[in-house]
């Protein structure tokens, strides 16, 4: 069973995503911000990290940067609802830093699950190229 870490400060959205992924038979870990996530990752290295961009304590951009340094093999999906900049601007930065896929909130859950499955398959086969 592949492990996925969800980093999202919106508890309701984080729980909804966790349920969605658990129904797909993934083991799901949860963190409310990047600092919490990096502590979890030191113990449980997931195949995939799904991270929000705008969060307190440590945002998704800093988290992606740190993940790519520590664990370059981890696949990453970045999600954002925006903030001071447009969502697509944050997501563009996330993509440049190494996110494999990006989604603006709200997003299509079927397309989201398709990308999750695709990245997990890549991670399990040892393929490090983005799709």
**DSSP-assigned beta bridge partners for residue 44:** none
DSSP element (H, E) containing 19 = helix 11-23
Give the model's pLDDT for residue 100: 96
How far is the C-alpha of 84 from the C-alpha of 78, rounded, in Å?
17
Question: In this structure, which topology does domain 3-12+22-125 adopt according to CATH?
Answer: Rossmann fold (3.40.50)
pTM score > 0.85 for this model? yes
pLDDT digits (tens, 9 = 90+) for 28-58: 999 999 999 999 998 999 999 999 998 888 8
CA distances from 38 to 6, 24, 51, 59, 94 (A): 12, 24, 12, 12, 17
Which 8-state DSSP code applies to residue 84? S
Q: Cα–Cα distance between 37 and 57 in angstroms, integer? A: 11
| pLDDT of amino acid 88 | 61
Q: What is the mean pLDDT of the chain?
A: 89
Provide the residue ranges of all domains of the chain, joining segments of one domain with +.
3-12+22-125
pLDDT in tens, 78-110: 998 755 544 567 788 899 899 999 998 889 999
- Among residues 89, 87, 100, the alpha carbon closest in space to that of 127 is found at 100
């Amino acid at each position: 069973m592949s492990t996925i870490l969800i980093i999202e400060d919106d508890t309701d959205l984080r729980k909804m995503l966790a349920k969605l992924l658990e129904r797909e038979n993934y083991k799901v870990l949860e963190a409310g911000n990047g600092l919490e996530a990096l502590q979890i990752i030191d113990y449980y290295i997931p195949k995939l990290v799904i991270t929000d961009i705008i969060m307190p304590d440590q945002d998704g951009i800093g988290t992606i940067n740190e993940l790519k340094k520590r664990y370059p093999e981890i696949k990453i999906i970045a999600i954002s609802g925006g903030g001071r900049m447009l969502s697509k601007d944050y997501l563009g930065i996330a993509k440049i830093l190494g996110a494999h896929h990006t989604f603006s909130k709200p997003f299509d859950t079927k397309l989201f699950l398709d990308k999750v499955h695709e990245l997990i398959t890549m991670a399990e086969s040892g393929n490090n190229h983005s799709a």
